[in-house]
Amino acid sequence: MTQKLILSTQDMPTGLDDRARFNTWHDMYVAAYCDFDLRRIEDRPFFATAEAQHFGGINVGATTAAIDTLMRSKQQVAAAVRSNFCLAFSNNGSPLIQAQAGRETVHRAESPILVAESEAGYVRQPGGYDFLMLDIPAKMLLERVADAHDLVARPLDAAPKAALHLKRYIGILPHLTQGEPDRALLDHVATTLIDLVALVLGANGDSAELATMRGLRAARIEEVFALIRKHFADPEFSTAHVARKLGLTPRYVNDLLQETGMGFAERVTELRLQSARKMLADRSKDRLKVIDIAYAVGFNEVSYFNRRFRQRFGEKPSQARGGPEAMQPRGIADPRPE
C-alpha cells in the first residue's frame, strides 16, 4: 500500500513535559503540511495523532488532537511556496467554525468545509480536533471546480449524497490499496477522489457530468466490493443485501458488477474458494473437516463445494491440506475496476 505518515505523541520520549510534547508535534505537523499556528487546549494533557496517505497528488488524512484552533496569518500566506485547498469533515459530530475570505461560518457537523491555504484566517473545533481531510493541489481542484475560491468558508450542503460517498470511499482505501504500490491504481484512486470532491463542491456542466459518470460510479463499485469482502461467507448473502445497505436497487448493483467483468455470484464464489483454500493450507486447522471448512466460507452443499474447488484449482480440497504450495495464487481475478 502507499506509505502512511503517522505523527503521534505516543511515539515521543516519555521524558518530555506537556509543553515540549506540544511544541514537538506542532513542528512536525507544520513540516508535513504548511506554515500555520496551532492553539492547544490548556486544561487537559496534550495528545495528538495525525495520519496521512498520498494518492496521486492528493493527501488523505485524519487528525485527532487536544487543539481547538488552527490559524494562518497574512505573513505566513505571503511566505508560502504552495497554495493547496483542504476539504475537511468533522469526525466527532461537532461543528467546525471557519473564518476566511472575509467570512465567518459555523458549519453544520455533518457538512464538509473548504479551506484555502492562500487565505489568512482560522478553523476552530471547540472541544478538540477530530477531522478527516483531503489536501488537494490548487491547480488540480481549479481545473474541475473553477469557482473553488468562492466556496471557501461557505456552507457546503448542496450535495450530501456525494459527501457520503466520498467519506465511504476514503474508508475503504486501506483495503483497496493493500499490497505493493501500483501506479495505475493510485492514479485511479486520485481521479475518483477529485471527481467526488467536485461533486461535493457542486460542480456543474461537463465537470459534473464527468464526475457523476466516472467518480460516483467508481465509488459505488468500491462500496459494493467492500460489502462483498465483508459478508461473502454468509450463505444468505445476496445482491438484495448489498442494495439495501447502499440504498440502491439489486438491478443497479448487478449492472455495476457486470461492468467489472465478474458478476455477483461469480465474485462471491471466488472469495469463498480462496478463503477455503487458505484454511485448508493452514496447519492449525488440520482438525477441521472439509465439510466444516465448506460451511465456514458460505457453501451450503459439500458436493458443490468439492466440484467448484476442483474446477478452480485443479485438485480436490483434501489434496490442498497443509501444503505451502496451496497458498500460491492461481489466476486470481483482480477485483478492482479498470
Reported as a single tens digit per residue, the pLDDT across 23-60 is: 999 999 999 888 999 999 999 999 999 999 988 889 99
Given pLDDT bands bounded at 50, 70 and 90, which one contains residue 333?
Answer: very low
pLDDT over 70 (residue 212): no
Note whether 96 and 131 are within 8 A (CB). yes
**pLDDT of 337:** 36
Quick one: average pLDDT of 65-75?
95
- Kindly give the residue spans of alpha helices, DSSP state H, lying in the chain: 18-32, 74-78, 138-144, 160-176, 183-200, 205-210, 217-231, 239-246, 250-259, 264-281, 290-296, 302-313
**Nearest-angstrom CA–CA distance, 251 and 254:** 5
- Which of 71-75, 86-90, 211-215, 273-277 shows the lowest mean pLDDT across its residues? 211-215
Residue 34 contacts residue 82 (beta carbons within 8 Å): yes
- pLDDT at 263 (0 to 100): 86
pLDDT-above-70 percentage for the chain: 88
| Average confidence (pLDDT) over 216-233 | 83
Contacts of 319 (CB under 8 A, 6+ apart): none
Lowest pLDDT segment from 8-12, 131-135, 174-178, 240-244:
174-178
Percent over 90 (pLDDT), the chain: 51
pLDDT at 2: 62
pLDDT, mean over the chain: 85
- 229 against 322, higher pLDDT: 229
The span from the CA of 150 to the CA of 145, in Å, is: 10
- Average pLDDT (169-195) is 75
Do 280 and 326 form a contact (C-beta atoms < 8 A)? Answer: yes
Query: How much is the pTM?
Result: 0.66
* Contact predicate 223/172, CB 8 Å: yes
